[in-house]
Amino acid sequence: MSAEIRIVLVNTSHPGNIGGVARAMKNMKFSELHLVEPKKFPHIEADNRASGATDILEHAVVHETLEQAIADCHLVVGTSARGRHIPWPVVDPRELSSIVSSAGDKKIAVVFGREDRGLTNEELHLCHHHVHIPSNPDFSSLNLAAAVQVITYELRMAGLYREQAEEHKPQWGTDWDIDLAESADLERLFAHLEETLIDIDFLDPENPRQLMARLRRLYLRSVPDKVEVNILRGILTAMQKQLKD
């Protein structure tokens, strides 16, 4: 189960930014947009900047207060371009993604502030965590839609990694079609290989160096199955037969 993530924009001044946020969200496969007291919405500039993500704008939920927008959320995260007076748990977007990954099917709100002043201290104090994108300390404030893009990208990456980890079991997992070779099979292969390498004068039994250890390491690294070991032994047998003929 994955978390339900909503993006909350507080008191946005420029409708174009709301459209930019919708676009950034849809690019990263997010759809839940909540707006607290937007100055101008709906607005043609929002639609224009959304360029195709207007469905997100149409379904956007408008609230009068931030408290209302987050009332049913289990985890609330506020974003901030700079440090505040009272220290609060601050994470970067990647750390936020790992918190969200372990949150199960909870409802999570990521709250973004005004273009000119960000979020007030009171608004930030409604949040469990604060997220800061580690930007240039001398020029730390990103455009609103750009900040949403960075954070939703990290959330998406964490989701993709999680899916991949679930899909790609290791090759020695239960979905492998043939039984893996047992240690005794492998030992027979290595003995056979050593014998053949001596037969073809590749391995000098008086001066074997690390050859067999290196070959063992090479084969063991691939965790071969029984059929693969049989093929390798078949090749060795064929080589020995050629030598005798």
Which residues make up the interface to ligand SAH (CB under 6 A)? 79-82, 112-113, 115-119, 131-133, 135, 140-142, 144, 147
Of 45 and 92, nearer to ligand SAH (C-beta) is 92
Torsion angles phi and psi, residue 164, rounded to 5: -60, -40
| Residue closer to ligand SAH (CB basis): 123 or 194 | 123
Q: What 8-state DSSP symbol labels residue 143?
A: P
Q: How far is residue 171's CA from residue 175's CA, in Å, rounded to a whole number?
A: 8
Tell the smallest beta-carbon distance from residue 209 to ligand SAH (Å). 58
How many angstroms separate the CA atoms of 233 and 226, rounded?
11
Q: How far is the CB of 86 from ligand SAH (least distance, A)?
A: 15
Cα 181 off chain centre by: 34
Instruction: Report the residue closest to ligand SAH, judged by CB.
Output: 118
Smallest distance, ligand SAH to C-beta of residue 29, A: 20
Nearest CB to ligand SAH, comparing residues 19 and 224: 19
Residue among 116 and 175 whose Cβ is closer to ligand SAH: 116
Q: What is the DSSP string of 58-124?
A: HTPEEESSHHHHHTT-SEEEEE-SS--SS---EE-HHHHHHHHHTTTT-EEEEEE-BTTTB--HHHH
CB of residue 1 to ligand SAH, shortest distance in Å: 27
Min. distance of Cβ 142 from ligand SAH in angstroms?
4
214 Cβ contact list (under 8 Å, min separation 6): none
CB of 75 to ligand SAH, least distance (A): 17
18, 12 contact by CB (below 8 A): yes
Cβ proximity to ligand SAH: between 20 and 224 the closer is 20
Name which of 45 and 199 has its Cβ closer to ligand SAH.
Answer: 45
